[in-house]
Amino acid sequence: AELKAIDGEHHLHPFTDFKDLKERGTRIVTKAENVYIYTDEGQKLLDGMSGLWCCNLGYSQPSIVEAVAKQMAELPYYNNFFQCSHPPAIQLSKELTDLAPAHINNVFFTNSGSEGNDTVIRLVNRYWDLKGQPEKCNIIARKNAYHGSTVAAASLGGMGYMHKQFNTLGNIHHVDQPYWFDEGGNMTPEEFGLKAAKSLEDKILELGPETVGAFIAEPIQGAGGVIIPPSTYWPAVQEILNKYDILFISDEVIFGFGRTGKMFGCDYYGTKPDMINFAKAVTNGYQPLGGVLVGDKVTDVLKTQGGDFNHGFTYSGHPAAAAAALATLKVMRDENIVENVEKELGPYLAEKLAVVAEHPLVGEVRSVGLVGAIELVKDKKTRARWGSDGEAGGACRQASLNNDLVMRATGDIMLVAPPLVITKAQIDELIQKAMKALDEAHEQLKR
């Protein structure tokens, strides 16, 4: 009770209504094990969201903890500025570039996904400057995207309600997302995928291809609602980007490191990004670390013309965070995590979600690997929603917490992204709890 009072009085939570929080009180998480979190009130919840999409290996990974402790004892801090470096960052740069697609052989470390996207913008600008085309300074992102919370990353984001709270960068433009369920009308998903891709080409032509330097997108729109693109979307987008010589940035802060059943989302969709922004699961969320994997097309220019890049963070590639990442990648390798998602757990989750699709409150389910979405509707046929946007989602989120399950709601879409170490029996448990939550939310909405 004392901690709750202090929290309400002194702690400004991210993405939280400050006045609301004091009245509602906080849920304090005191302990976590495997795929479960425990609260101060003794509730044990199955974490269907891997924290914030980051604890892909769950909460019980002693080898990561030990690696951090060992590194802290040996070299608790040093930086990579100027000509300095240290063993964990060096080793991690090798391991990450080995995992990345063959045309990507360099990495710039950050502490978070947001800083990574700031870094991306700086790299894009620097690249085109050095190429003698500084006018290629426009960057295109997508509506309803989330790319982070710094001013630059939030400007890349396409959620309108966020843009109302600060002054966005003027050189960033937004195009349609391939959200067939809500926006596809009478089109087939394939037709709609091409239409969404065309909105990118239309924007490029409107701005002038000679002014557009990069396009940034997640392989699957994550926080925006797990918007899985129709099969036609990515091939068409890649062709457009090649045609107009525009850099492609794959924001893999959520989808990097096995979520789709491939190491990176670009591997899943067969796209060829010039840069990959990553964070979160690279350290299993145990330490803050992110980075930008930079392709040869860009580094060839950066390294041979101009050279200097006046950008970096005090903690870029921090030794303890780099040690956590190395230990995380080792667990992933030793336990065949990615392959297991592709061959076993992903198909199993999809099979179980197909049952959820039958629920009267559900209009569609979709999943790739271990990430899924459940669309809540009032009418399955017309896809009409309940009341105001987020009403059904809010009800289902609360019902889910009441049933000891963490699911996230984006408007009226319920999201699941459990740890990649979840067992089939725990997926059954997740589905059972989700079904109970759907029942309860449905009853509440009908009242």
Residue 412 binding ligand PLP, by CB under 6 A: no
Q: In what order do the strands lie in the sheet with 36-39?
A: 29-33, 36-39, 44-47, 405-406
Residue 118 binding ligand PLP, by CB under 6 A: no
Which among 85-93, 122-130, 141-149, 207-215 is the span making contact with ligand PLP, rule CB under 6 A? 141-149
Which residue number, 158 or 363, has a Cβ lying nearer to ligand PLP?
158
Residue type, 77: Y
Residue 240 binding ligand PLP, by CB under 6 A: no
- Residue 355: CB partners within 8 Å, gap ≥ 6? 431, 435
Question: In 3D, which of 37, 44, 40, 38 has the Cα closest to residue 3?
Answer: 40
Question: In 3D, which of 369, 377, 337, 375 has the Cα closest to residue 350?
Answer: 369
Residue with tokens 């030990």: 66
Q: Phi then psi for 139, rounded to 5 degrees? A: -125, 135
Which residue number, 172 or 362, has a Cβ lying nearer to ligand PLP?
172
Q: Phi then psi for 190, rounded to 5 degrees? A: -65, -45
CA distance 433 to 175: 37
**Sequential DSSP letters for 316-366:** TT-HHHHHHHHHHHHHHHHTTHHHHIIIIIHHHHHHHHHHHTTSTTEEEEE
Distance between first and last Cα of the chain = 33
Please give the structure tokens belonging to residue 432: 């059972």
Interface residue with ligand PLP among 228, 253, 345, 422 (CB under 6 A) is 253
Which residue number, 64 or 438, has a Cβ lying nearer to ligand PLP?
64
Q: Which residues 162-201 are close enough to bind ligand PLP by CB under 6 A? A: none
Residue 366 binding ligand PLP, by CB under 6 A: no
Q: Which residues 288-347 are close enough to bind ligand PLP by CB under 6 A? A: 290
Nearest distance from C-beta of residue 341 to ligand PLP, angstroms: 18
Which residue number, 352 or 408, has a Cβ lying nearer to ligand PLP?
408
Residue 273 binding ligand PLP, by CB under 6 A: no
Interface residue with ligand PLP among 140, 227, 263, 279 (CB under 6 A) is 279
Residue 281 binding ligand PLP, by CB under 6 A: no
Which among 36-44, 113-121, 198-206, 384-392 is the span making contact with ligand PLP, rule CB under 6 A? 113-121
Nearest distance from C-beta of residue 149 to ligand PLP, angstroms: 6
Cα 413 vs. chain centroid, distance in angstroms? Answer: 16
Which residue number, 157 or 193, has a Cβ lying nearer to ligand PLP?
157
Which among 32-40, 94-102, 140-148, 409-417 is the span making contact with ligand PLP, rule CB under 6 A? 140-148
Residue 146 binding ligand PLP, by CB under 6 A: yes
CA distance 363 to 296: 44
H/E stretch holding 247 = strand 247-251
Which residue number, 100 or 356, has a Cβ lying nearer to ligand PLP?
100
Residue 112 binding ligand PLP, by CB under 6 A: yes
Which among 3-11, 246-254, 261-269, 345-353 is the span making contact with ligand PLP, rule CB under 6 A? 246-254
Which residues in this chain contact ligand PLP in the complex, by CB under 6 A?
112-114, 117, 146-148, 218, 222-223, 251, 253-254, 279, 290
